[in-house]
Structure 1
């Protein structure tokens, strides 16, 4: 689904991604892991076109998208839930959801019913302002807004950050449903190890801007956790 080859990125004079190559297999949930500051969000923003790629390629369904404008990602079928949610606090829940409709390829102009089946609370609060929702509800709104675009590939950047445990569990179940029932490919950036083990099929660990380990989640052993993930 996504193939990254020899990707390099810089912040000023700081080299943040070093010849990074990785694959996000189609129909799977891959968890991007690593301590703070190793380049996870930089990689995600590069995929989304929010950072210009210095060198290397990012291929989606065989097409190099590295030089494309960011706004072309959603119509291609790439959904994105950024770290911190970034919903529109002054718009209603319904208005936040409808923002994703123009990016749909099928021309649908109403929020699909399955969004409310996944997140019943959004239907209950359809006319509430986004800023009036709790953190967990805002996270559900952010995921729902991304799903409205009808993506085939969804990026979730730290979706459990600052969320109460019961909603974290719900989000994990929903990711598995999307992955297993409709075959949605997911790239999950996550630091909570129990959540990652529950949700993801594969893992990719970054350290100092380089990929240092990749495999099935069952292969994530104590040695890797201690060396690259433990704070």
Structure 2
């Protein structure tokens, strides 16, 4: 579904992504791993068109994404939940979800009931401002907003960061449901190793902007963890 080939990216004169090659098959959950500052968020932002690529290819269902501006990529079926959630704090839960509806190719008028089945708390708080929600509730809102237009690929950047343990479990359950039961393809950045092992079938490790190891999650061994993930 998603194929990244020889991707390079620069911040000014600084070379941040070096010849990245990653492939995510349809229906797979892949976890992008690595210590802080190794290029994971940069890669996601480049995928979404928020940062320019210097060279290489990003193919989504055969379409060259580098030809499209950032606002078109959701219309192709790609949803992005950034690190820090970035909901609109002054807007209500309902208004935040309606913004998600507008991102996709189809202009749905009603919030899908599926969102409230996945996140019942959002239905209870429709008229509450996003900024008044707890961190865990805001993360649920951010994911619900991303799912509102029924994407084919869900990209999540650190969805468990700063979230209480019971919400972390719920988010893990939802990712597993979307991926394993509904067949949604997921690209996930995650630091918590037990969470990553639970939800993802494949991994790719970035180190200093390079993809240094990848494979099935069952192949992630202690040497890789010690060399590239342990702080």
Alignment partners' CA distance in 2, 1:39 and 1:107: 34
Aligned-residue offset at 1:103: 2.9
Deviation sequence 1:116-166 (CA, Å, 0-9, x none): 000000001010000000000000000000000210001000000000000
Structure 1 equivalent of residue 194 of structure 2: 194
Residues 70-91 of structure 1, C-alpha deviation per residue, up to 9 Å, x if partnerless? Answer: 0001111000000000000000
Give the secondary-structure state (helix, strand or coil) at the position aligned to 2:6.
strand
Q: Hey, what does 1:224 align to over in structure 2? A: 224
Q: 2:101 & 2:20 partners in 1: Cα distance? A: 33
Partner of 1:122: 122
Shift of 1:66: 1.3
**Offset of residue 108 of structure 1:** 2.2
Given that residues 106 and 149 in structure 2 are in contact (C-alpha distance below 8 angstroms), is that contact kept between their aligned partners in structure 1?
Answer: no
Query: Quick check: 2:108–2:149 contact (8 Å CA) kept in 1?
Result: no
Give the distance between the partners of 2:199 and 2:229, measured in 1 at CA.
Answer: 17
Q: Which SS does the other structure have where 1:204 is aligned?
A: strand
Find the counterpart in structure 2 of residue 166 from structure 1.
Answer: 166
Q: Does 1:208 align with 2:208?
A: yes
In structure 1, stretches of 5+ residues that fail to align are none
Secondary structure of the structure 2 residue equivalent to 1:4: strand
CA distance in 2, matches of 1:54, 1:93: 38
User: Which structure 1 residue ranges, 4+ long, deviate > 4 Å from structure 2?
Assistant: none
Counterpart of 1:99 in 2: which secondary structure? Answer: helix
Map 1:169-188 → 2, pairs under 5 A: 169-188=169-188
RMSD: 0.8
Identify the residue that residue 142 of structure 1 maps to in structure 2. Answer: 142
Deviation of the 1:102 alpha carbon: 2.1
Q: Distance in 1 between matches of 2:149 and 2:107?
A: 10
TM-score by length of 2: 0.98
- C-alpha distance in structure 2 between counterparts of 1:168 and 1:100, whole Å: 22
Structure 2: tracts of 5 or more residues without a match? none
Q: Deviations over 1:18-45 (max 9, x none)?
A: 1111111210100000001110011000
Cα pair 2:30 2:201 within 8 Å, conserved? yes
